[in-house]
Amino acid sequence: MIKLGPIQLEHPFILAPMAGITNSPFRRLMRKMGSSLVVSELVSANGLEYGGKKNLELLKFHEEERPIGIQVFGERVDLLCKACQKAEQLGADFVDLNVGCPVPKIVKKGAGAALCRNAKELEKILKAIVKSVNIPVSIKMRTGWDEQNKNALDCIKAAAEAGVQWVAIHGRTKAQGYSGQADWDFIGEIKSKSPLPIIGNGDLVTAEITLEKYHSYKVDAVMIGRGALRNPFIFKQAYELWKNKVFFAPTAQDYVSLMQNLRILLNENCSAFMAVIYARKFLAWFSSGFRGCHEFRKNVFTIKEPETLWNEAFLYFENNMHSRNLDYISQPFLMGGHG
C-alpha cells in the first residue's frame, strides 16, 4: 500500500493534472484505465469568488473518480481558504495548492510558481489553508524558480511545518517552462531529505521509464501527464510491470473499448458539440506513432458528425494499431501548461 497522508493507494501511478484536458470524463476514464488517484485541473480561487459558472463547473467530479483532489491557485490567502472550503463542502478527498504554474499572467499576480519564491510566505499561506479545512492539503510545485534558486526543499520543509501532507514535484524550474529534461537526480535528492511523501513528475513517457525512475529515485509515487495522452494504457502497463513483471500490450479490442468508454463519458458530461471537440483531441493524441496517424488526425479534425467520427476512429485503430513507430516518444509534445 502507498500512503499519502490518510489516503491509501494500491499502487503509485497517478495521473497529473492538466488544464483543459483532465476534465471529469477524462479523469474517470483514467481511473478506469488504472490511475490510482486523480486531481482536478487548476481552479482559480479569485474566479470562484468573482467569476461565473465556468469556475464552479471545474469543481464538479463523479464518485467514480475517488480519490479525487481539487487543485486551486491564487495569491490571496482569504480566497484560497474559501476555495478549499468549497472543495471540501463538495466532497473532495483533498485539496492541492498549485505552486508550479509558470504562465506569466498567473505568476505576475504572485500565484502559481511565484509562491515558491519565499518559503516563509508560502508557509503562512499553507498554515491558513490547512487550518481552514478538515481534509488533507497537498501542494504541486517545481524544483524552484530558476537554476540559481532551486529551493524546493525549503518549500517542502515549510509545507511540512504548515501541516501539508505530501508534495508532487515536477522536475523543472519555473524558468525552464517545458524545455530541457525533468531533473530526476534533483527529485531523488529532495526525496532523500524530505519530511513529506514525494510524488515525482516529469517526462515519464513509457511504463519502463516510469518504473526505472520510481525505483531509482525511491519516490513515494509518480505522476504521469502528457505520457498518458499519447499512451492511455500507460497506467495499466506500469502496474503490470511493477506487480507481475509482465508487459501489457493493448489489443485493437482494448482500443475500441477505451474509445467506447470515452464516448459514453463525454456524452454524459458535455454538450454534443463539446464532446466532439474533446473527442478529436483525445483521438488525435491516442493515435501517436500508429500507421497513418497524420492522415487520421487531419481527417478527425474535419468530421463534425459524432457517429461518423467514432466509426472512423474504431476503424482506424482496428486497422492500424498493430504497427507503432515509437519515435514519437522523443518528439516534443505539449510544451506548455499550468504546472
Q: Tell me the C-alpha to C-alpha distance, in Å, between residue 113 and each of 59, 140, 147, 255.
A: 22, 9, 14, 37
For ligand FMN, the closer CB: 164 or 224: 224
**Per CB under 6 A, which region of 14-22, 123-131, 239-247, 288-296 contacts ligand FMN?**
14-22
Catalytic residue chosen out of the listed positions 84, 101, 116, 155? 101
> Please, what is the minimum distance in Å from the beta carbon of residue 205 to ligand FMN?
7
> Please, what is the minimum distance in Å from the beta carbon of residue 312 to ligand FMN?
25
Q: Which of 42, 68, 156, 198 binds ligand FMN (CB under 6 A)?
A: 42
Show the site string, 52-71: x = touches ligand FMN by CB under 6 A, - = not: -------------------x
d(CA 199, CA 2): 11
**Burial (Cβ within 10 Å: 0-12, 13-18, ≥19) of residue 128:** middle
Q: Which of 28, 31, 140, 150 binds ligand FMN (CB under 6 A)?
A: 140
CB-side neighbour CA atoms (13 Å) of 224: 34
Beta-bridge partners for 168: 140, 199
**Per CB under 6 A, which region of 17-25, 44-52, 235-243, 274-282 contacts ligand FMN?**
17-25
For ligand FMN, the closer CB: 67 or 225: 225
For ligand FMN, the closer CB: 204 or 221: 204
* Residue 19 touching ligand FMN (CB under 6 A): yes
Distance from the first to the final alpha carbon of the chain? 27
Tell me whether residue 101 is one of the annotated catalytic residues: yes
- Could you count the other beta carbons within 10 Å of the beta carbon of residue 185? 10
> Please, what is the minimum distance in Å from the beta carbon of residue 252 to ligand FMN?
26
For ligand FMN, the closer CB: 138 or 194: 138
- The site that binds ligand FMN (CB under 6 A) totals a number of residues, namely 24
- The answer to whether the CB of 113 falls within 8 A of the CB of 145 is yes
Closest by Cα among 103, 108, 201, 83 to 152: 201
Site residues for ligand FMN, 256-315, by CB under 6 A, read none
d(CA 256, CA 266): 15
For ligand FMN, the closer CB: 21 or 156: 21
Site residues for ligand FMN, 180-239, by CB under 6 A, read 201-204, 224-227
- Residues labelled as active-site residues: 101
* Residues of the shown chain interacting with ligand FMN in the complex, contacts defined by CB under 6 A: 16-19, 21, 41-42, 71, 98, 100, 140, 170, 201-204, 224-227, 334, 337-339
